[in-house]
Amino acid sequence: MLYNLGMFLLNSAIKIAAPFNPKAKLWCKGREHLLEKIETAMLSVKGRVVWFHCASLGEFEQGRQLIEDWKKRHENDTIVLTFYSPSGYEMRKDYKGADFVYYLPLDSSSNAQRFVKALNPKYAFFIKYEYWNNYLRELKNNGTKTYLVSAIFRKNDLFFKSYGNFHRSMLLYFDNLFVQNEESKQLLSTIGINNVNVFGDTRFDRVYNIISQTRKLEKIEAFAEGKEVFICGSSWPKDDEIVVSLIEKYKDISFIIVPHEIGEAKIVALVEKISKLGRECVRYSKCEKIENYRSSSVVVVDVIGILSSIYKYGRYGYIGGGFGVGIHNTLEAATFGLPLIFGSNYKRFDEAVSLVKLGSAQPINGFEEASKWLETMRKDKELYEKLSKKSAEFVEKNIGATSKIFNFIEE
């Protein structure tokens, strides 16, 4: 009862915010008459339906290899992909790996009943962090095999609190939980959840495949040719400050900055700041002349969706977000053998912790530490090669989660 009230209040709050908040507006607009559209579309579907749900873009990338491998193995199955957030849906609404891509309707009892009845899925996969009580209950009642993929649990999660009964009850709806590590399995056992398998993180499979699937970026390739390139991916303002200081100090290094937010005002300000340092800077979306990239020493990438292909052109990597809510994807850079630095908020990400332990990544608190690290990487070629190799090997050694999931389901 309280949960459903919470869903109602959430829906009301987002509707109130919609006129003033672009994301809230997209959230509401994307759900207008949504169930009617889904019910109509499903009438023409023949055969099995398999449902994959992701909160946002990050979770999608985590589950992407599973989705695409499923379609290869079961080409006659209908794949339905849903997102909770606009950032995920708007980026992947035209994704060719799924037959249908939708927002997830609000988790009310009636919505969940209509949605599950319309799809009647044979299998449902929730990626990493998604727990929606009404949907999980309806899937159980429908006889749908339901799995949580690449989940990770920590002792301070609500599931393990004395007042976490409701959250614990949601876990009982899953037929199996595929977790990333032994710690998660052990924690779940303390609350009586034992239908758990340690299969690792499916993101490793995805990023490992990136090596063979990266796009050739002619402009970036022209820029990087013959240069020592430092790449800053998914940067936030604090990260930009540090990198701009590095740009000012290291005139003989070329830089590629890929901001997390690409609002016009922010990009213009960043380009102006770099240009004032006397560095020739090009803006990716505004410059098509290859010769301009060859003559420039800084590129600001203001488009979405090419970062994973950019890393292969770099020698050093900086992962943004570590001075805010947490760092972004380290694995895309690591798979190309880039030694990495990032801000101090990284400990919630097991792969980042592992890279730090290996020495292939180093947390920093500001410009001075970033500069010192860069000096070391440049001077000690043997150390650089050693850490670069460790980064790439770390990804390669952790692939296989997707295959383990298929083996479990199909055995």
Residues 103 and 82: beta-carbon distance below 8 Å:
yes
- Are 103 and 115 in the same domain? yes
How many structural domains does the chain have? 2
Cβ atoms of residues 233 and 320 within 8 Å = yes
DSSP 93: T
Reported as a single tens digit per residue, the pLDDT across 151-193 is: 999 999 999 999 999 999 999 999 999 999 999 999 999 999 9
| Tokens encoding 316 | 């050093």
For residues 79 and 53, membership in a common domain is answered with yes
- Its domain, for residue 151, covers 2-209+400-410
Residue 379 has pLDDT above 80, yes or no: yes
Same domain, 290 and 217: yes
Mean pLDDT score of the chain: 95
> Both 143 and 232 in a single domain?
no
Please state the rounded mean pLDDT for residues 39-58.
95
Q: Is 9 exposed, middle or buried (0-12, 13-18, 19+ CB in 10 A)?
A: exposed
Same domain, 180 and 255: no
Length of the chain: 411
Q: Are residues 178 and 246 in the same domain?
A: no
Could you give the dihedral angle defined by the CA atoms of residues 333, 335, 341 and 343, in that order, rounded to the nearest 10 degrees?
70
243 and 320 within one domain: yes
Using an 8 Å Cβ cutoff, are 86 and 7 in contact? no
* Predicted local confidence at residue 9, as pLDDT: 78
Structure tokens at 82: 């849903």
Apex CA 72: angle with CA 66 and CA 73, to 5°?
Answer: 85
* CATH for 313: 3.40.50.2000
Q: 344 with 378, same domain?
A: yes
Domain at 42, CATH number: 3.40.50.11720
Please tell me the predicted confidence (pLDDT) of residue 139.
98
198 and 256 within one domain: no
Q: How far is CA 384 from CA 64, 195, 337, in A?
A: 32, 43, 10
**Cα(149)–Cα(199) distance, integer angstroms:** 9
* pLDDT score at 13: 84
Whether 361 and 305 map to the same domain: the answer is yes
**Does residue 1 register a pLDDT over 70?**
no
Read off the pTM.
0.86
